[in-house]
Every structure is written in C-alpha cells, then in structure tokens.
C-alpha cells in the first residue's frame, strides 16, 4: 500500500477565503496522522470526508497560530462526539498548558484520555514507534522552537514467492507466517530450503518528511536523505529572499535546493505568502533546481508509491 497525504490547508498566516492555514492528513500503514492544525482544520476534515475517529496522533510543528489555533477546537469536538479512545498530541513545550487552560475555563475537560508529548530537544529524536512505523523529529530553524517530522515505514515482512512454494507439497498455509518472517523451511527428510528461495524481498519502506516552518537550513539534509516525499515550506519566491531570511522562512528555490541535496524522490511545496497571486510561479522557480516538484493545494491528495 502507498502512503497517502491529503492537504487540508497550505497557506501562510493571513486569513483569506479558501486559503486555509497548514494542516495535513497522512495515511501510512494502518495509521492516520494529523500534521499541524491551523484554524478551521476540523471543518476541512469534514469537507474532505475524513472520519474524526481515525485520528489518534496529532503532530504540531510549532506554536504559531496558523499551525495550531485549530487544535483546541478539534479536541473539544472530539469531546462532543463522545470520543473514548486516547488522543496523543506531540508538540513544543507549552502546548499542554495552552490547550488545557482553554478546556478548563470552558469547563469542558475531555472524557477521553488526552496525552501530550511535549518536545524541547534540539536534536532529532524518535517520538513514536510501533511494529510498522517510526516518527522522528526534524529540528528546524524558525522564529520559535519548531520541529518537522519524519514518518518512516519499518521494513515489512518478506513476500511469499508462490511460484516456488507451489512446488513444495509439504508447505501448508500455516507455514506462511514463518516464511514471511524469514525462516528457512525444514522438509520431513531433514533437508532445508533456504528462505530466499521461497520468498521475495519485502516492499521498500516508504518515508515522508514534513518541514514547515523553516528558513533554508541545511542541517536537515542528513535527516531527510532520500525520503520518498518531502514537504518543504516555500513562503516566498527568490525575489523576497532577504525577507525570507529575516522572517526565517524559505523561498521556492531554497526548498528545491534542500530537496536536491537530500536526493529526495519528490518535493511538495506550500505555505505560500498571500502576497503572491499565482502559485504556479512557486513551481516554476523550484523546478529550475528540482524537477519533480509539486504544488500543495487545498484538497489535493498525493499518493506516494
């Protein structure tokens, strides 16, 4: 199965009609991750038919409003919908106090377990792991403490090679899981068939890196090396490179340069400043450096194979 990324919002802070702030919904293995949660994200989830109950983990990059002002509303709505399952929120230190204070004054504490994982390290760290997926932080360079997130599938099971298995009568369906796990097969006569004769290499694990907001920051290159897909903010075009520098944002060229240096397979850019009328200009600029660039657009779905 591929990774599936739905763009719920991809514009920078100033509010406009039909220009939602940052939020993304990532489906990877059996997980459904929400990444950032600008104001109005819960309505965007509704608009694109995403079931609220699917979301068990929310990752917040930083505490600027256009990346987290929608979080408290979503948490409150989960309460109204009688959610029972745990919700895990990963974000910068301070996020817990900001959210819980609002729940307290509105006298609407959640009836479901709301678990905050507050981040403060300036080094990349593993913040989520199960048998299939790992999530690492990507320390970024912005005006406040900010992390991107690297979502990585783990190496999966080996795949059954039915064209060889069918020739071995002694192999039964109940043996399949051992084969997928890499075990050799021992025949009744004691002979051994090596696992790699009966199985194929597992699917190559896929990976997605989310990097927003950030200045042009080469230290991330090692962390995101060769990911299948990189989302990198590009608030400005290169005509505003000095403004990008002072506000700690990136230009389309800079995002493309990071993608090229990290040898990623695909780049998505977004977080466009409202000053630009035609977002196609971002793509044009980025593609001069990194050809396989796509524009984030609200509602767009990227399937990452």
Catalytically active residues are 66
Candidates 4, 32, 43, 300; binder of a copy of itself (CB under 8 A) is 43
Question: What is d(CA 151, CA 149) in angstroms, rounded to the nearest whole number?
Answer: 6
Query: DSSP string covering the chain, please?
Result: --EEEEEEE-B-SS-BTTB-BSEEEEEETTEEEEE---TTHHHHHHHTT--GGG--EEE----SHHHHTTHHHHHHHHHHTT--S-EEEEEETTHHHHHHHHHHHTT---SS-EEEEEE--SS--EEEE-SSEEEEEEE--SSS--EEEEEEEPP-PPEE-HHHHTT-TT--GGGHHHHHTT--EE-TTS-EE-HHHHEEPPPPPPEEEEE-S--S-GGGHHHHTT-SEEEEE--B-GGGHHHHHHHT--BHHHHHHHHHHTT-S-EEEE-B-TT-S-THHHHHHHHTT-SSEEE--TT-EEEE-
Least gap, CB of 240 to a copy of itself (angstroms):
16
Closer to a copy of itself by CB, 44 or 293: give it. 44
Closer to a copy of itself by CB, 238 or 275: give it. 275
> Per-residue contact track with a copy of itself, 133 to 172, x per CB under 8 A?
----------xx----------------------------
Question: What is d(CA 102, CA 99) in angstroms, rounded to the nearest whole number?
Answer: 5
Least gap, CB of 113 to a copy of itself (angstroms):
20
Closer to a copy of itself by CB, 68 or 290: give it. 68
Q: Which stretch binds a copy of itself (CB under 8 A): 27-35, 106-114, 222-230, 283-291?
A: 106-114
Verify binding: residue 15, a copy of itself, rule CB under 8 A.
yes
The full 3-state SS of 173-210, as one line of letters, equals HHHHHHHHCCCCEECCCCCEECHHHHEECCCCCCEEEE
Verify binding: residue 40, a copy of itself, rule CB under 8 A.
yes
Verify binding: residue 97, a copy of itself, rule CB under 8 A.
yes
Verify binding: residue 34, a copy of itself, rule CB under 8 A.
no
Least gap, CB of 269 to a copy of itself (angstroms):
21
Q: Across the chain, which distance is largest between two alpha carbons, in Å?
A: 75
Closer to a copy of itself by CB, 85 or 106: give it. 106
Least gap, CB of 85 to a copy of itself (angstroms):
18
Least gap, CB of 212 to a copy of itself (angstroms):
15
Residues 46-75 that bind a copy of itself (CB under 8 A): 46-47, 63-65, 69-70, 72-73
Closer to a copy of itself by CB, 109 or 305: give it. 109
Closer to a copy of itself by CB, 77 or 195: give it. 77
Candidates 77, 161, 164, 195; binder of a copy of itself (CB under 8 A) is 77
Q: By the criterion CB under 8 A, which residues form the site for a copy of itself?
A: 13-17, 39-40, 42-43, 46-47, 63-65, 69-70, 72-73, 76-77, 80-81, 92, 94-95, 97-98, 101-102, 105-108, 143-144
């Amino acid at each position: 199965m591929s990774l599936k990324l739905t763009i719920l919002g991809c514009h920078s802070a100033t509010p406009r009609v039909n220009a939602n702030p940052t939020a993304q919904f990532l489906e990877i293995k059996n997980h459904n991750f929400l990444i950032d949660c600008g104001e109005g994200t819960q309505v965007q989830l509704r608009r694109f038919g995403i079931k609220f109950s699917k979301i068990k983990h929310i990752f917040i990059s930083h505490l600027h409003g256009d990346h987290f002002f929608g979080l408290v509303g979503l948490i409150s709505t989960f309460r109204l919908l009688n959610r029972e399952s745990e919700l895990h929120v990963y974000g910068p230190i301070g996020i817990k106090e900001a959210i819980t204070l609002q729940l307290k004054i509105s006298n609407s504490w959640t009836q479901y377990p709301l678990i905050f994982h507050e981040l403060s390290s300036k080094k990349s760290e593993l913040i989520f792991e199960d048998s299939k997926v790992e999530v690492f932080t990507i320390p970024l360079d912005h005006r406040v403490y900010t992390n991107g997130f690297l979502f990585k599938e783990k190496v999966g099971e080996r795949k059954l090679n039915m064209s060889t298995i069918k020739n071995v009568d002694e192999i039964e369906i109940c043996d399949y899981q051992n084969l997928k796990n890499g075990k050799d097969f021992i025949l009744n006569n004691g002979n051994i068939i090596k696992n790699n004769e009966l199985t194929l290499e597992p699917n190559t694990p896929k990976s997605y890196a989310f990097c927003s907001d950030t200045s042009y920051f080469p230290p991330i290159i090692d962390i995101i090396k060769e990911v299948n897909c990189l989302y990198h903010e590009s608030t400005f075009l290169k005509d505003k490179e000095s403004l990008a520098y002072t506000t700690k944002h990136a230009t389309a060229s800079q995002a493309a340069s990071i993608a090229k240096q990290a040898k990623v397979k695909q780049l998505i850019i977004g977080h466009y400043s409202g000053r630009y009328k035609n977002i196609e200009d971002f793509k044009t600029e980025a593609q001069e450096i990194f050809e396989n660039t796509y524009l984030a657009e609200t509602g767009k779905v990227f399937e990452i194979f």
